[in-house]
């Protein structure tokens, strides 16, 4: 386990940034997630760390000589790519420096607080890094089983699922930061009842997928592999990820090569990257396979991964329609799940991805796949929650159910004006709760 639990995780640690000490803040001094921001009044993109409702400007910290030497060049950049490529010891040194600087009210960072801190309301957040490659997995066995039972009621889970982490290459160019509107895509829609030909038009079954994104830190050279015992060393941090999905387009196009245009129109990620260092107290065992399930093949098997390859990360999805927002209604929570529901650990995804010699690169983004749990309210997309509901056409006797909004509106899939917000947080007795901020997007028609 390369990521130590140390004094930076102490529950008693507080910050001189008062808002960070609020129990409801996602960003206490134990978290220290990195982000890229630009001041609303203009200027270049810069690297920051979220603390309470503020951003610590790391470029200004470096210019003032307040950071370790190895971090100086890494933070003097327009995105996190150089930071992601630092060695683990350099990353830990920076974390300790920031932890001291933000907790000790007499630190040089505290003494220069006027120049170094900005309110989060005064900045816009940008993508944390240029995403060169985006791969999406399918690692929740509950999601795979639910989706499989809609397509193949008698044979929901394909025989490869428990042996191989299923994934596909996604589209990197359309990965965007939280707040980007989701413009309803058009595409080929399958022939309807009594029709023989597909049509081309706006997607009618627009959906979100609750996922977690993992950024690769140090990559591997082409032809080299990443042993499972070393997989976590190659991870930099996690974010929230919404894999927007056009279900009707997907149903028509996905065989035999998998999703294509049903997914590539937009993927949204949260701006804050929570580091593996910060997540150390929340590591947990890998998924407990039920008796009779096959053991992973040797290259995906490791005691450390079995013991602490999982991450106890709580995830939530909220929906608010335009009418709800106009009426001042709170967003409706649609689901709650946990990353521990994944059948495969993120480390196993990394190792599997590189097992053929494919070179993972710094800043590559891996999506976990929809994080659904076993309970009904733990389903991480509308396809599962409404059981493939087609708005206005419930099939008698089927499990199809509409979602009732507090305004009396109903939803099977997303309509124009709907806002989807993903949230995530880790909590455990003896440690400070840390959060991921939000990953949001509003559906725009036309
Ligand atoms: Mn997905």
Per residue in 350-372, pLDDT (tens digit) is: 999 999 999 999 999 999 999 99
Can you give the pLDDT at residue 167? Answer: 97
Q: How far is the CA of 242 from the centre of ligand 1 (A)?
A: 8
- pLDDT at 395 > cutoff 80: no
Contact 388, 410 (CB under 8 A): no
Q: How far is the CA of 367 from the centre of ligand 1 (A)?
A: 7
Can you give the pLDDT at residue 151? Answer: 76
Place 398 in a pLDDT band, splitting at 50, 70 and 90. Answer: low
Number of residues written out for the chain: 446
**CA geometry: angle 293, 295, 297, nearest 5 deg:** 135
Can you give the pLDDT at residue 446? Answer: 78
And the tokens for 60?
């200004």
And the tokens for 339?
């990353």
For residues 382-408, give the mean pLDDT: 74
Q: How far is the CA of 194 from the centre of ligand 1 (A)?
A: 31
Place 387 in a pLDDT band, splitting at 50, 70 and 90. Answer: confident
Can you give the pLDDT at residue 392? Answer: 37
Q: Is the peptide bond before 433 cis (omega within 30 degrees of 0)?
A: no
Inter-residue long-range contacts of 9-16, CB under 8 Å, 24+ positions, other chains counted: 9/278, 9/280, 9/281, 9/431, 9/432, 11/430, 11/431, 11/432, 13/99, 13/103, 13/432, 14/103, 15/51, 15/52, 15/102, 15/103, 16/102, 16/103, 16/104, 16/105, 16/110, 16/113
Predicted TM-score (pTM) of the model is 0.97
Which whole-number Å values give the CA distances from 361 to 1, 15, 268, 291, 336, in the listed order? 22, 35, 20, 37, 32
Domain pair 7-126 / 134-444, same fold:
no
Place 393 in a pLDDT band, splitting at 50, 70 and 90. Answer: very low
Q: How many other CB atoms are there within 10 angstroms of residue 315's CB atom?
A: 25
* Extents of the domains making up the chain: 7-126, 134-444
The CATH-assigned architecture of domain 7-126 is Roll (2.30)
CA 212 to chain centre: 3
Considering the chain, what is the average pLDDT of its residues? 95
Distance between CA atoms of residues 246 and 187, nearest Å: 9
- pLDDT at 107 > cutoff 90: yes
Can you give the pLDDT at residue 394? Answer: 47
Residues less than 5 Å from ion ligand 1, measured at CB: 136, 209, 243
Distance between CA atoms of residues 117 and 272, nearest Å: 16
For residues 150-174, give the mean pLDDT: 93
- pLDDT at 348 > cutoff 80: yes
Q: How far is the CA of 209 from the centre of ligand 1 (A)?
A: 6
Q: How far is the CA of 137 from the centre of ligand 1 (A)?
A: 7
Place 313 in a pLDDT band, splitting at 50, 70 and 90. Answer: very high
Can you give the pLDDT at residue 390? Answer: 46
- pLDDT at 74 > cutoff 80: yes
- pLDDT at 225 > cutoff 50: yes
Supply the residues annotated as catalytic: 143
Task: Tell me the percentage of the chain whose pLDDT exceeds 70.
Answer: 97
| Dihedral over alpha carbons 28, 34, 40, 44 (to 10 degrees) | 150
Q: How far is the CA of 335 from the centre of ligand 1 (A)?
A: 16
Question: If 0-12 CB within 10 Å is exposed, 13-18 middle and 19+ buried, where does residue 195 land?
Answer: exposed
At the fourth CATH level, which superfamily is domain 134-444?
A: Fumarylacetoacetase-like, C-terminal domain (3.90.850.10)
- pLDDT at 1 > cutoff 80: no
Q: How far is the CA of 136 from the centre of ligand 1 (A)?
A: 6
């Amino acid at each position: 386990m390369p990521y130590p639990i140390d004094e930076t995780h102490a529950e008693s640690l507080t910050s001189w940034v008062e808002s960070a000490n609020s129990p409801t803040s996602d960003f206490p001094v134990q978290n220290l997630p990195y982000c890229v921001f630009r001041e609303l009044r203009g200027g270049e993109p810069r690297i920051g760390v979220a603390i309470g409702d503020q951003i610590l400007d790391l470029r200004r910290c470096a210019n003032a000589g307040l950071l370790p030497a190895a971090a100086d060049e890494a933070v003097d950049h327009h995105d996190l790519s150089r930071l992601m490529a630092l060695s683990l010891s350099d990353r830990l040194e920076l974390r300790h420096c920031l932890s001291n600087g933000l907790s000790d009210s007499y630190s040089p960072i505290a003494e220069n607080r006027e120049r170094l801190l900005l309110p989060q309301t005064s900045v816009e957040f940008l993508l944390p890094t240029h995403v060169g490659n985006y791969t999406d997995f399918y690692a929740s066995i509950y999601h795979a089983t639910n989706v499989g039972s809609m397509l193949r009621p008698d044979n929901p889970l394909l025989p490869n699922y428990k042996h191989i982490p299923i994934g596909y290459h996604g589209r990197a160019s359309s990965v965007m930061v939280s707040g980007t509107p989701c413009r309803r895509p058009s595409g080929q829609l399958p022939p309807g009842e009594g029709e023989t030909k597909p049509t081309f038009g706006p997607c009618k079954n627009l959906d979100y997928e609750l996922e977690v994104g993992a950024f690769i830190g140090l990559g591997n050279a082409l032809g080299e592999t990443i042993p499972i015992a070393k997989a976590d060393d190659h991870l930099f941090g996690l974010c929230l990820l919404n894999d927007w999905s056009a279900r009707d387009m997907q149903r028509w196009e996905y065989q035999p090569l998998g999703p294509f245009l049903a997914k590539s129109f937009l993927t949204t990620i949260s701006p804050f990257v929570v580091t593996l260092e910060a997540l150390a107290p929340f590591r947990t065992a890998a998924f407990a396979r039920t008796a009779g399930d096959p053991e992973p093949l040797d290259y995906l098997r490791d005691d450390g991964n079995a013991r602490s390859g999982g991450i106890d990360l709580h995830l939530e999805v909220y929906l608010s329609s335009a009418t709800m927002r106009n009426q001042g209604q709170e967003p409706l929570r649609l689901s709650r799940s946990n990353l521990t529901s994944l059948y495969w650990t993120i480390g196993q995804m990394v190792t599997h991805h590189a097992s053929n010699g494919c070179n993972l690169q710094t800043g590559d983004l891996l999506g976990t796949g929809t994080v659904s749990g076993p309970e009904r309210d733990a389903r991480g997309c509308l396809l599962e929650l409404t059981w493939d509901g087609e708005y206005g056409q419930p099939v008698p006797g089927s499990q199809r159910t509409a979602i009732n909004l507090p305004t009396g509106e109903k939803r099977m899939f997303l309509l124009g004006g709907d806002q989807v917000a993903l949230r995530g947080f880790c909590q455990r007795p003896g440690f400070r709760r840390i959060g991921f901020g939000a990953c949001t997007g509003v559906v725009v028609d036309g």
